């Protein structure tokens, strides 16, 4: 597992562009909100740390992970944002529901990245257990929200004609 070898919250701060002139949409699943709110906290604070302004961060909640794709599309079409971050948590259960939702959300974000001229960042945890999710939402493996925010900043810089440092 890649996360065992890399903490999601550790990165070279000197390789992250200034985000002070960037605008971000963050779409958050309400399902498994103990986890998704921790992911939101990580993403929001990381964006602030790199200069993003509070007034340039737009947060929208959706019922579940499957709805992240529509929420992200809505954000791109109705709010002036340079990137959209989708944050969710899907935990494997006893039925194939996990596979369908995970596959659908993943493909949805791929499709959005192809269709729109802004980056859509996939910050969705797909784990076997709640503990694995806790470990990746501010626990021993860091916070996937931090990683998603750094990715968003770098992709916006790239999209604006810059280069990723």
Q: Any idea which residues carry the catalytic annotation?
A: 97
Q: Is 138 left (phi over 0), alpha (psi -120 to 50) or beta?
A: left
Task: Output DSSP code: residue 61.
Answer: E
CA angle 32, 34, 39 (to 5 degrees): 95
Q: Are 42 and 137 in contact (CB under 8 A)?
A: yes
Work out whether strand 83-91 and strand 120-127 pair parallel, antiparallel, or are unpaired: parallel
């Amino acid at each position: 597992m890649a996360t065992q070898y890399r903490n999601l919250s550790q990165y070279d701060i000197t390789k992250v562009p200034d985000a002070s002139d960037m605008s971000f949409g963050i779409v958050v699943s309400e399902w498994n909100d103990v986890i998704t709110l921790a992911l939101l906290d990580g993403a929001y604070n990381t964006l602030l740390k790199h200069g993003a302004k509070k007034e340039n961060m737009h947060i929208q909640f959706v019922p579940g992970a499957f709805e992240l794709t529509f929420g992200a599309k809505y954000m791109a079409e109705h709010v002036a944002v340079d990137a959209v971050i989708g944050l969710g948590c899907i935990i494997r259960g006893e039925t194939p529901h996990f596979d369908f939702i995970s596959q659908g959300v993943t493909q949805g974000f791929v499709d959005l990245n192809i269709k729109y001229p802004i980056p859509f960042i996939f910050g969705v945890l797909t784990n076997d257990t709640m503990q694995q999710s806790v470990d990746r939402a501010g626990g021993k493996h860091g916070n996937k929200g931090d990683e998603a925010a750094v990715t968003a900043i770098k992709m916006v810089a790239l999209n604006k004609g810059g280069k990723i440092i």
